[in-house]
Chain A
Amino acid sequence: MADSPDGDLKYVGRSIRTKEGRAPLIGKAKYTSDYAFAGQLHACIVRSPHAAARINRVDLSAATRVAGVRLAMHGADVAALTDPIPDYLEPALFGGKAAAHRCLAIDEVWCYGQPVAVVVAEDMRTARYAAARVQVDYTPLEAVVDAEAALAVGARTIVPGWDDNLLMHVPFMHGDTVAAFESADQVVSTEVKIHRFSTQPMETRCYNAVWEHNTESITLYGTSQNPHPLRLVLAQTLRMPENKIRIIASTIGGAFGLKMHGHPEEGLICLLAKLTGQPVKWLESREECLLIGAREQKHYIEMAVNNDGTVLGLRDRFYANTGAPSACPGWGMAFLTGLTMPGPYKVRDIDVQMHAVSTNKPSWNAARGYGKESTAIALELAMDNVARQLGVSPVTVRLKNFIGKDEFPYDSPTGLLYDSGDYAGAVEKTLQAIDYDDCLEEQASARESGRYIGIGVAFELTPEGGAIPGSMVVGYDTSSVRVGPDGTVRLLTGVTSPGTGNATGIAQIVADELGVDIDAIEVLQGDTNASPYGFGNYSGRSTIVGGGSAALAAQDVRLMIDKVAAALLEVERSSLVLQRGVYTSTADSSASVTFAEVCYAAYTRAYDVALCIDPPLEATRTFRPPSIRHTPDANGNINPYPSYSNAAYATVCEVDVQTGQVKLLKFAVTHDCGKVINPILVEGQACGAIGFGIGGALTEDVRYDASGRQLTRSFMDYVMPRMSDMPPIAVEHHDMPNPGNYLGLKGAGEAGVGGSAAAVVNAVNNALQPLGVVMNELPLTAPRVWAAIQQASVAPTPGGDQ
């Protein structure tokens, strides 16, 4: 029930309820799994129970004998009909190693859960029953599970033909780090271990492929964040022309990077539909979804600091356990962790050594934050360690080292060009929002009575909207605006929605540019036969480039409509006023015509009043953010990001020292996403990211046994916070407009996982400081916090000193 635009009251900047929110609320949303077709078949995938093994033989005979089974295939069967899956992001572009990614494993399995065979049957239960009858003869191999052990001399190489397991090593270096460390008063070392945690959308992946007999083509209904690029991947995998494949990504129940493509099931399910000539659906189980990993990194950080808190130099050697090679873009998270060092801090002398390591753990895919969350966790834990070592406030250390708000645009030591920001201002707002001084007093009095309250502060710089040359990660996108003869609007955009509400944000922009009611706008996303060629959602890009391109297209169409209105009213275009769907003129008080009448005239009077335009009322435009630079500078660096959103986080916790449990009492965030199009959308994103950060910091953990078998198989084991675990969150906006983008936009969707996780860890360490406990290994589960307290040299003494 949106308000109509009234004078200066625009949609942009207001909290508009999402256009697409009603259907899920009333249970009418059509998720991919809700599509069912005549003759629907179901696939079940047989997965490796070993982390590493040779496949001697796959016997499908018992499965094919089950009544209702239509097809069963193993790796060699599928390989004969498909090509390897192209990488979303080729490691070789960055000097890394290459591996062939197959839909089903051939000869060897590289990780627990890797697909080995598939069974298609008339219903899901039969498929599952038959899949249990596939006999695979394996010879288990020694599993390489730990990243640093994988690099040890003599470690078994997990990919035959590789020299070692180092997928990629990239140094990010600038200045004279040796001199910085020599001149510093102190060197503070911090080891940070970030565990494997993922995103777990409520809707797991689903692919339903339909063989279209009339056109001998495939329609894939799929949970895809990037339908057009996936279409190219499928064309290559399936040896089909791209124009014989249509992808429809309908309502998505959360994606967070996990539904970016490269997954073996995407091409596999299409092949099965083609071979059976019938629709084939595969719905991922939660156990399967939990296989998709992310984030696991070990950092060895050294900061060269002066006694006043100034950080002169940064060294970081880190190892990312990216699991088995895959076509998904997950490994790139490790690259970005290095690229985005040293975050918001004005440290010029850096030596960051990134090692992306392949192991026999299941593969990564992209996960919200895309490596930048790990940058924030590593840096923010290290900054608190500096504060502890120097005996100064963690706030002081940060304020001392932030890039100043008058120092933008800022050339980072890795070549990034930060557009704008006021980091110190954001921290100050956050401290106010959480009543920092009151918290310090409360902490002191709580310690008197033997309670352990801690306050944690952290910052996250989140470059968003990224573009990597030579890949399908591009910086631009395209939208079409079509206004019909009745004045209603069809908006098609190449960006897609994972459920964030970006369609509403983009519609707000278009409503303002066209001067129409937002309810007159229908948005279509995710159908490759209808939408402009687009790149979908990732990297907090959708409103920047989807909104930016839609604004340009809407401006073009508005100009056409204005021209026809002026011709109809016989007034100068400059005298037109459009309010509440009616055109009037400041030149002629009797002139009046409705927006819809003008649109009808534009279509029906092409030979008189509409001679001034080329019908129909449609325009397609691209927004290409100007600050992305792919031509290397003198140091060989590029700037792949058009926006550098940033946020400050603070939280207050209480630790139960008898159990190790952490209870969060308060949370505050101050976020800078440039211009806020819709506050509730931005706040929803911020709160969601904080939920991820809290879960990651405290309870979520994907665990393995020593042989690399995954132990975490359901939500009983993978413990995410529930609503009742969330503290009250104060969300503040601190908008520093981005000079390069439409309306000053920066990304708003990706930020916050790392900053909030780091704030929680810092709060716990702050609470336990009197006990001498410092934990920089995530997650801080109750058993681990308890064990750290037990091991601390100082016994718990209520009211003990700092």
Chain B
Amino acid sequence: MSLYPSYARPRSLQQAVDLLSGLQGGVVVIAGGQEILPSVNYGVLMPDVYVDIGGIEELIGISSVGDELVMGALTVHRDIQGHADVQRLAPLLAQSVSAMGGGWQVHNRGTIGGNIVAMHPLYDIAPSLLALQADIELIDAAGTRRLSFADLLADSSHGLGTKAILTRVFVTASPQSSWGYYKLKNTSGAYGSANAAAVLETEGEILTAIRVVIGAAADQLTLVSDALAGLTGAAYDAAAGAEIERICAQAIGTPLSDHQGDGTWRRAMAGVVARRAVEAALLPATGPDS
């Protein structure tokens, strides 16, 4: 905590990593600033050193290699929303990034990397990444490594934001799957009270795989897939919907209870958004912005 913080703007990823490895505590990595600056303005955060990676070109941009979508960590939300490769390979991600609040400023300045590193339980991108079984790549003094997003969530010593830099996000498309995203919020400007990303596989009418990730209902994402296995092998119907709602609500261990809504409601809503995300996946014509 310093009244007179230092500021560094490294020109390459290697410079940034070298800089971070030489610094002690009180460091924040900043890029779009949509996470850090409100905290600083609010007096919650007073870093000693800002390491601004916003100028590192190699971290910006979207490309695809075969069925794999590769997004630089500094890609801003608006570029993800409209990008043809994202629409083609991971439309669920485009949808959830579009559902994000904060208006034009956040969409134009906020980055996918910043959103992930914040690890905020109410944010929109993480449920989709987990549902899509995304990978991420990070770099620190020990070098570059690629790991699954699920493993990242389980690892509390990743050092992202202070010691390590998130570099890329990878999503591999699975052409036979369908998807849905449902976000419940109290006003259009509010954070979500519960949201769900669903990825399904079907053969004709028959469900063959269901993977649902619920966000904003607990302090961590809730992945529900094994518990839903009993619903595969049959067509979706109202009874299946009620069962999804029940199972997903039950999957929430300790629900959040805050201004967005009390715990009892949040748990119930986890079920409702899960069902609605699944229904959106099954009815693509009406699904995407349900």
Give A contacts to B, CB under 8 Å.
66, 125-126, 128-129, 132, 285, 287, 658-661, 698-699, 701, 703, 711-712, 714-717, 719-722, 724-725, 781-783, 786-787
Contacts and interface: CB of A to CB of B under 8 A. Distances in A.
A716 B191 contact: yes
A294 B274 CA distance: 39
Interface stretch (B67-75, B214-222, B258-266): B258-266
B188 A724 contact: yes
Contacts of A781: 186, 261
Contacts of A717: 258-259
Given A129-B3, A714-B42, A783-B261, A721 B187 contact: yes
Ordered nearest first, which 3 A-B pairs have the shortest CB separation?
A: A783-B265, A783-B261, A717-B259
B153 interface: no
B59 to A, nearest CB: 29
Contact of A659 (B189, B191, B272): B272
Interface in B167-196: 184, 186-191, 193
A699 B184 CA distance: 14
Contacts of B265: 660, 782-783, 786-787
A703 B259 contact: yes
Contacts of A129: 3, 46
A241 to B, nearest CB: 39
Contacts of B268: 786
A659 B269 contact: yes
Given A126-B3, A129-B3, A714-B42, A699 B187 contact: yes
Contact of B190 (A128, A711, A719, A786): A719
Of B188, B189, B269, most A-chain CB atoms within 10 Å? B189
A657 B134 CA distance: 35
A725 B42 CA distance: 27
A593 B190 CA distance: 62
A661 B272 CA distance: 12
B43 interface: yes
A285 B44 CA distance: 13
Of A132, A285, A782, most B-chain CB atoms within 10 Å? A782
B189 A720 contact: yes
Contacts of B186: 661, 698-699, 719, 781-782
A661 B187 CA distance: 10
Interface in B247-275: 258-259, 261-262, 264-265, 268-269, 272
Contacts of A125: 3
Given A698-B186, A719-B190, A722-B187, 14 more contacts: A659-B184, A659-B269, A661-B184, A699-B190, A711-B259, A714-B42, A717-B259, A719-B189, A722-B188, A722-B189, A724-B188, A725-B187, A782-B265, A786-B265
B259 A712 contact: yes
Contacts of A126: 3
A722 B259 CA distance: 17
Interface string B230-246: 00000000000000000
A721 B186 CA distance: 9
Contacts of B188: 722, 724-725
Nearest to A722: B189
Nearest to B269: A659
Contacts of A66: 3
B264 A787 contact: yes
A725 B184 CA distance: 14
A75 B95 CA distance: 54
Contacts of B190: 699, 716, 719
Nearest to A286: B42
Interface of B: 3, 42-43, 46, 184, 186-191, 193, 258-259, 261-262, 264-265, 268-269, 272
B139 to A, nearest CB: 32
Contact of A719 (B46, B187, B262, B272): B187
6 contacts: A285-B42, A699-B187, A699-B190, A717-B258, A722-B188, A783-B261
Of B186, B258, B261, most A-chain CB atoms within 10 Å? B186
A716 B185 CA distance: 12
Contacts of B258: 717
Nearest to A132: B43
Nearest to A782: B186
Given A661-B184, A782-B186, A719 B259 contact: yes
A725 to B, nearest CB: 5
A759 to B, nearest CB: 18
B265 to A, nearest CB: 4
A26 to B, nearest CB: 18
Of A701, A703, A721, most B-chain CB atoms within 10 Å? A721
Contacts of B3: 66, 125-126, 129
Nearest to B264: A787
A782 B273 CA distance: 14
Contacts of B43: 128, 132
A47 to B, nearest CB: 12
A714 B38 CA distance: 11
Contacts of B269: 659
Nearest to B272: A658
A724 B272 CA distance: 23
A775 to B, nearest CB: 15
B237 to A, nearest CB: 17
B261 A716 contact: no
A287 B38 CA distance: 13
Nearest to B5: A125
A697 to B, nearest CB: 12
Given A782-B261, A783-B261, A720 B42 contact: no
Nearest to B184: A659
Contacts of A661: 184, 186
Contacts of B191: 716
Nearest to A712: B259
Nearest to B259: A717
A68 to B, nearest CB: 8
A782 B194 CA distance: 12
Nearest to A701: B259
A129 B43 CA distance: 9
Nearest to A785: B265
B255 to A, nearest CB: 11
Contacts of B261: 781-783
A29 B23 CA distance: 44
A783 B184 CA distance: 12
B256 to A, nearest CB: 12
B132 to A, nearest CB: 26
A587 B254 CA distance: 90
Contacts of A285: 42
Contacts of A714: 42
Contacts of A782: 184, 186, 193, 261, 265
A785 to B, nearest CB: 10
Contact of B187 (A287, A712, A720, A783): A720
Contacts of A724: 188
A464 B265 CA distance: 42
Contacts of B262: 783
Nearest to A287: B42
Nearest to B273: A659
Of B187, B191, B264, B269, most A-chain CB atoms within 10 Å? B187
A660 B262 CA distance: 13
Nearest to B276: A658
Contacts of A658: 272
A743 B205 CA distance: 71
Contacts of B187: 698-699, 719-722, 725
Nearest to B258: A717
Nearest to A694: B187
A717 B3 CA distance: 28
Contacts of B193: 782
Nearest to B262: A783
Nearest to B103: A722
Of A129, A714, A783, most B-chain CB atoms within 10 Å? A783
Nearest to B268: A786
A660 B193 CA distance: 12
A782 B266 CA distance: 11
